[in-house]
Amino acid sequence: MIGGALSWLRARGRGGNAEAAQEVRRWILAVYAKETLEVIRDRRTLLVMIVLPALLMPMVILGISYLAQRQQQQIQTVVPRVAVVGQAPALIHLAYASKLIAPVRAKDPTAALRQRQVLAVVEIPKNFETIVARNGQAHVGILYDATDSESAAARGKVVDLLSRYSQEIVAARLAARHINPRDLLPVVLDQHNVATQRQQSGQLLASLLPFLLAMWAVVGGMSVAVDLAAGEKERGTLESLLITPPSREAIVLGKFLSVVTASMGGVIVVLLAMMVSLRWGYPYMLHTTQKVNISLPIGTAIVMLGVALLFSALVSAVQLAISIYARSPREAQQYITPLYFVTVLPGLAVQFVSDWARSPWAYLTPVLNAFFSFQELLLGTVNWGHLFLAAVSCAFYAALALEVAIALMSREGVIFRV
Amino acid sequence: MTDHEVLVEAENLEKRFRRYHAVRGVSFRCYAGEVFGLLGPNGAGKTTTIRMLTTVLRPTAGVARIAGHDVVHEAGTVRRLIGVLPENAGIYGRLTARDVIRYAGRLYGVPPDLLRSRLASIAEALELTAHLDRLTDTFSKGMKQKVNIARALIHNPPVVFLDEPTSGLDVISARSVRDFIERFKQEGRCVIMSTHVMEEAERLCDRVAIVAGGRIRAEGRLTDLQARTGLGLEEIFVQLVEQTVA
Ligand SMILES: Nc1ncnc2c1ncn2[C@@H]1O[C@H](COP(=O)(O)OP(=O)(O)OP(=O)(O)O)[C@@H](O)[C@H]1O
Ligand SMILES: [Mg+2]
């Protein structure tokens, strides 16, 4: 990290001779060491950076998948109450026998559906059984609420029930004509899901992990960034610092590295907590289905950390620039909060724009590029060209934000803002 | 005076902020082994002048040199030559006094051995030794000020700027800070301090400049000023300031 920052510094054409470069390195290290010592001495920051994600992540990851599973199970096992309007004794009988739905009577079925007393309503036409008996065709209506997943599931069960009933009638009619029902069904479907467990678990991870990583890359460095620039202004220590020999570049770089360290601290804790809870926590939750091995391979995790480092460098540089600009920590916090949403929300959106993932632009756009890279890594569909684009553009934006931070630190109007 | 080295030189210094012309042509010279006082009412431009001399503000016009080095074009060299106690200087509360002073030493590039011995002797002189390993958050205002003075001196600068070094301190703390300033003088440093306290100026300063409205209204040895006007420093000060306002 420090090496990278230094070579970047040299690339800017400063510190021509070795001695000057040595001095710059000493300054950066001095600032970095002091800032990091202050972070370590600050219990609150450590709490937010390490303890909170370590406790919260397993709860979020396991909690969400547990609830999703529980709902899935409930939908499958529960027999939904369905209001039946009209007369259809044979259908009702089949409903009881098949245990697909629990038919009930309701005075006002629509209201009952709205109040969730029933999950669907079946409307049987007049003379239903007579029509069926006379080889006619009857139209049965289903009312359900598409926004309610339980109601949608109940609808599925009603459809199942009706098609079974229909099949029984068909069978009876064919039998009356001495035709074997098999003769009318030349093709039988056998469906298999070919997605591997890696892909399935990747899907789960891909929808959650980038969001969580981005969140902690921002949150981990936030309080540190606010404290070490705007905080110095407020406490009146900044002037004493600027009076010392280190260049503004060295001061900003030292502080930047400290923010990146905090941010990466958060990211690493999240990643570890995620891996641990998936490895050892997840299997315990699946009592019913077969044992699923959802995990994050070490190699993938390491490449992800590399991407996360570049992402965190960008976020940290921006936070630092904001903090230098702000008059007080309070003001810095106010600017950083919207930044937080701007960086974290694409994490949720990325799943819904997966078609963008094929365009190189997606890998050149700040923030989005990191999310798409995370997604590829998690789904095991890595394209190294994409990854390279994302890494280079991430580093470029981070350097740009650092330049802004340095420029701000060099402006007296910003340092002594009134 | 001329037998002493000129360490600080200001020539027609001016500072114009966006809306306010804070310093309007200030010139003076200070020499090794003297304490020079900047006296003036609130808003006179003392802090702004000190900030220009200490490289944190860029003069709008005029020149300033520290030991012959231009504060704008040779800021790096100047910073190594000066020790500064800014106005209302804060402190890193989560660090110990030793951490704070050592940090300054590292920024000034003081070699580790020298840093250790110098830290010990400065702490001794400021009676900080027993408290070096306490977090500065637990310190009184006077103690914090002493730590800040120590951090300004860790690179043994020939020129020291102190912006209201005793403001907000009780009698005892103020006294020990003053004693320390006396020592700077004996060590041959050039000290430039600003203050509101007339007795402090009378006790410590060899020469003073009375600043009001961004200009120097009177300058010279205290004894000369008093002989010339037949007044005490406070009366001189009040008269000059009232003239400026009028
Ligand atoms: N960064 C700034 N932007 C705009 N105006 C400023 C700035 N800094 C100082 N001033 C103004 O310049 C004038 C001189 O301020 P300065 O701090 O130099 O006075 P001072 O003599 O140190 O006063 P005090 O005794 O109160 O410390 C004041 O009117 C102040 O409001
Ligand atoms: Mg002042």
C-alpha to C-alpha distance for A207 and A216, rounded to whole angstroms:
16
B180 within some domain: yes
Two structure tokens written together for A11: 């690339």
Q: Which atom number of ligand 1 is nearest to the Cα of residue B38?
A: 21
**CB B44 near ligand 1, within 6 Å:** yes
Looking at A65-79, A223-237, B33-47, B125-139, which range is the least confident one? A65-79
Q: Which atom number of ligand 1 is nearest to the Cα of residue B40?
A: 21
Please report, for the domain that includes residue B14, its CATH number: 3.40.50.300
Q: Which atom number of ligand 1 is nearest to the Cα of residue B46?
A: 21
B151 contacts A27? CB cut-off 8 A: no
Which of A38, A42, A243 comes nearest B55 by C-beta? A243
Q: Which of A26, A228, A239, A410 to mutate to test the interface with B (most CBs of B within 10 A)?
A: A239
pLDDT value at residue A288: 41
Which residue in chain A has the smallest CA separation from B91? A237
Outline which parts of chain A fall under CATH 3.40.1710.10. 78-183
**CB B56 near ligand 1, within 6 Å:** no
User: How much of chain B, in percent, has pLDDT values that exceed 70?
Assistant: 98
Across B21-29, average pLDDT? 94
C-alpha to C-alpha distance for A329 and A340, rounded to whole angstroms:
16
Q: How far is the CA of B201 from the centre of ligand 1 (A)?
A: 21
Ion ligand 2 — residues with CB < 5 Å = B 46-47, 87
**CB B213 near ligand 1, within 6 Å:** no
Which of B92, B108, B152 comes nearest A38 by C-beta? B92
**CB B88 near ligand 1, within 6 Å:** no
pLDDT value at residue B205: 94
ipTM over 0.90: yes
Which tens digit of pLDDT belongs to each residue from B74-124?
999 999 999 999 999 999 999 999 999 999 999 999 999 999 999 999 999
Which pLDDT band, with edges at 50, 70 and 90, does B1 fall under? very low
Residues of chain A contacting B104 with CB distance shorter than 8 Å:
240, 244
B74 within some domain: yes
Nearest 5 degrees, angle CA B103-CA B105-CA B111? Answer: 125
C-alpha to C-alpha distance for B139 and B137, rounded to whole angstroms:
6
Kindly give, in sequence order, each residue whose CB lies less than 8 Å from that of residue B43, ignoring residues fewer than 6 positions away. none
Across A300-329, average pLDDT? 93
Q: Which atom number of ligand 1 is nearest to the Cα of residue B45?
A: 18
Q: Is pLDDT of A350 > 90?
A: no
Across B56-65, average pLDDT? 96
A246 contacts B99? CB cut-off 8 A: no
Which residue in chain A has the smallest CA separation from B59? A412
Residues of chain A contacting B79 with CB distance shorter than 8 Å:
243-245
Architecture in CATH of A78-183: 3-Layer(aba) Sandwich (3.40)
B99 within some domain: no
Ligand nearest to the CA of B87: 2
Looking at A60-64, A142-146, A157-161, B4-8, which range is the least confident one? A60-64
State how far residue B70 is from chain A, nearest Cα, in angstroms: 15
A415 contacts B56? CB cut-off 8 A: yes
Adjacency order of strands within the sheet including A102-104: A102-104, A81-85, A120-123, A141-143
Give the count of alpha carbons within 13 A of A186, CB side only. Answer: 0
Which pLDDT band, with edges at 50, 70 and 90, does A178 fall under? confident
C-alpha to C-alpha distance for B66 and B176, rounded to whole angstroms:
28
Name the β-bridge partners of B208: B37, B220
* Per-window interface: A 196-235 vs B, CB < 8 A: 232, 234-235
Q: Is pLDDT of B240 > 90?
A: no
Which tens digit of pLDDT belongs to each residue from B195-204?
988 888 888 9
Across A68-90, average pLDDT? 82
Q: Is pLDDT of A293 > 70?
A: no
**CB B146 near ligand 1, within 6 Å:** no
Two structure tokens written together for A255: 């502080």
Structural domain count of chain B: 1
Question: Is there a contact between B221 and B207 (Cβ–Cβ < 8 Å)?
Answer: yes
b/e for A232-270, b at 16 or more Cβ within 10 A?
bbbbebbbbbbbbbbbbbbbbbbbbbbbbbbbbbbbbbb
pLDDT value at residue B209: 94
Question: Is there a contact between B185 and B35 (Cβ–Cβ < 8 Å)?
Answer: yes
Instruction: Look up residue B5 and give its DSSP letter.
Output: P
**CB A418 near ligand 1, within 6 Å:** yes
* pTM for this predicted structure: 0.83
- Domain of residue B174: give its range: 3-89+158-245
A244 contacts B92? CB cut-off 8 A: no
If we measure between CA atoms, which residue out of A212, A416, A415, A222 comes closest to residue A335?
A222
Instruction: Look up residue A124 and give its DSSP letter.
Output: P
Which is more confident, A327 or A358? A327
Across A398-406, average pLDDT? 96
> Which of B47, B166, B194, B196 is the best mutation target for the ligand 1 pocket, counting ligand atoms within 8 Å of the beta carbon and taking the most?
B47
C-alpha distances in Å from residue A415, one per residue of A205, A222, B45, B58, B137:
44, 20, 18, 12, 24
